[in-house]
Amino acid sequence: MRARAEAIAAEIDAVLASPLHNINIAKFVELKCVCGFGMRRREESLKQGKDIRCGDCGRYWTWVGGGGDEVYEFRPSATSFPCEKCKNAVGVTRYDVERGALARCACGAEYAFEPGFTPRLIEPTAGAAAPSGGDEAPK
């Protein structure tokens, strides 16, 4: 029993004597948000298709390409839907939807969002000023 304990102690001593500590050989990707906040993620997590959320302003980013020796490309996480009036695509970012901003179509139609990201056309009332929204949606 004593010999076994001494063998284990010798193995532990060898591990603790190693000059390598807290090593991480993963490949990391860096992204700078429009607010200036820097983010760093493991390359493997990008391949899972999850959006990256800025820890400062809360914007979401989607990896759209690159990797390996290529430059990584990110875009704001966004979606689009057809306008009820003119049938053109109306784009909106996930960040704007969560903030309660309105989406605007080129034809002037405005949309608010119901839970589940469901767009709802806002019908202007006679004589009322158009409501103001947040950031402009991506084109």
**Averages of pLDDT over each 10 residues, the chain, 139 residues:** 92 83 78 92 80 92 76 88 93 89 91 83 62 42
Residues 67 and 87 grouped into a single domain: no
Give the CA diameter of the chain: 93
Q: Would you say 39 and 55 are in contact if contact means Cβ atoms under 8 Å apart?
A: yes
- The reply to whether 138 falls in a domain is no
pTM, to two decimals: 0.61
Residues 97 and 71 grouped into a single domain: no
- For 17-137, where are the alpha helices, taking DSSP H only? 43-46, 94-99
- The reply to whether 134 falls in a domain is no
Residues 72 and 100 grouped into a single domain: no
Residues 56 and 91 grouped into a single domain: no
Q: Residue 125 has what pLDDT?
A: 59
pLDDT digits (tens, 9 = 90+) for 53-63: 999 999 999 98
- The reply to whether 118 falls in a domain is yes
- The reply to whether 113 falls in a domain is yes
Number of domains in the chain: 2
Q: Residue 17 has what pLDDT?
A: 83
- For the chain, where are the alpha helices, taking DSSP H only? 2-16, 43-46, 94-99
Containing structural domain, residue 114: 78-122
Q: Residue 131 has what pLDDT?
A: 44
